[in-house]
Amino acid sequence: MKSGVRHQLAEKMAGEITLSDSPGQALKKWRQSFNIPPGVLAERLEVSPSVISDYESGRRKSPGTAIVGKIVDAILSIDEDNGGRYINKFAKILYTDFDEDVIYDIHEYASPIGLPEFAEVIGAVTLCGPMDQTIYGYTVINSLNAILQLSSSEFNRIYGWSTERALIFTEVSTGKSPMVAIRVTPFKPRCVVLQGITPEEVHPLIPGLAERDRITVLCTTMDVETIISSLRGKLW
């Protein structure tokens, strides 16, 4: 495992948790990003699971920098013991630039944003899936170029630092291609936004594919530049 990657990840995670307006939510985001159950993290830290739950819910006073450091180290150590799957995933993000003709914009949130608020900003309507969800970021993707140019491992880069995000696929015709691409890759987003079409134009297979992977699907006809500027203009 590259020590440089581990160090950079640790700094990013600890900084985001410490500086967040909701440290507990930021901690929860990173624990879930590494797919670590709270009980497993608690066992590694030699504390009761209720301690992790109290930190994440805000019932316990926000952890100081020393405790945050121990929690981050525990998360990374657990992943290393399991083969470093998620550290390797984030390493590709740290050391690889995104092609501008594939990724139009990518952004992370320190605190969770509700899907209803997110959808309102980009003028999106619900096609299927629950709206009582939160996301920690979004990626605006050229749908055709992503499918044509990215390998399955490169496709995972569009998730940024967390899969709990909205993937906005632009200029889609029916939405089938990006949903099939997601279906055959290991990581699944919280939400998919199909840009450029209305719910009536969506391929009939989409709701079934989304339900299998528990993905909320939205549609918007707002143009890409306005989507990016509107999201960047929100002080979330």
pLDDT of residue 92: 64
At 128 the three-state DSSP class reads: strand
Mean per-residue pLDDT, 204-223 = 96
pLDDT of residue 107: 85
User: Token pair for residue 216?
Assistant: 């909320």
The CATH architecture assigned to 1-95 reads: Orthogonal Bundle (1.10)
Q: Which has the higher per-residue pLDDT, 112 or 169?
A: 169
- Would you call 94 exposed, middle or buried from its count of C-beta atoms within 10 A (0-12, 13-18, 19+)? middle
Alpha helices in 47-164 (DSSP H): 49-57, 65-81, 85-95, 115-121, 143-149, 152-155
Ordered by start, the domain boundaries in the chain are 1-95, 103-233
Q: Is residue 151 over pLDDT 80?
A: no
Mean per-residue pLDDT, 128-152 = 89
Average pLDDT score over the chain: 89
Instruction: Name 117's Cβ contacts closer than 8 Å, sequence gap at least 6.
Output: none
Cα–Cα dist 62/206, whole Å: 41
Spatial contact of 95 and 157, defined as CB atoms under 8 Å apart = no
User: Token pair for residue 147?
Assistant: 């499918």
Q: If pLDDT is split at 50, 70 and 90, which confidence band does 236 have?
A: confident
DSSP assigned state of 47: S
Mean per-residue pLDDT, 43-63 = 92
Buried b (16+ CB within 10 A) or exposed e, 148-166: eebeeeebbbbbbbbbbbb
Q: Is residue 86 over pLDDT 80?
A: yes
User: Token pair for residue 139?
Assistant: 């990626």
Q: Is residue 96 over pLDDT 60?
A: no
Backbone angles phi, psi at 59, to 5 degrees: -70, -25
Cα–Cα dist 169/160, whole Å: 15
Mean per-residue pLDDT, 72-79 = 96
User: Token pair for residue 64?
Assistant: 């100081």
Mean per-residue pLDDT, 24-47 = 94
Per-residue pLDDT tens over the stretch 29-39 = 899 989 999 99
Mean per-residue pLDDT, 93-100 = 61
Provide the β-strand partners of residue 103. 141
In terms of phi and psi (left: phi > 0; alpha: psi -120 to 50; beta: otherwise), the region of 129 is: left
Q: Is residue 208 over pLDDT 70?
A: yes
- Of the listed ranges 94-98, 136-140, 141-145, the least confidently predicted one is 94-98
Per-residue pLDDT tens over the stretch 156-180 = 778 877 888 999 999 999 999 999 9
The CATH code of the domain at 103-233 is 3.40.1390.20
pLDDT of residue 2: 47
Spatial contact of 124 and 220, defined as CB atoms under 8 Å apart = yes
Q: What is the pTM assigned to this prediction?
A: 0.67
- Count of residues in the chain: 236
pLDDT of residue 166: 97
Q: Which has the higher per-residue pLDDT, 117 or 99?
A: 117
Spatial contact of 32 and 164, defined as CB atoms under 8 Å apart = yes
Cα-based torsion angle of the residue sequence 150, 148, 141, 214 in order, rounded to the nearest 10 degrees: -80
Residue appearing with tokens 């709701």: 207
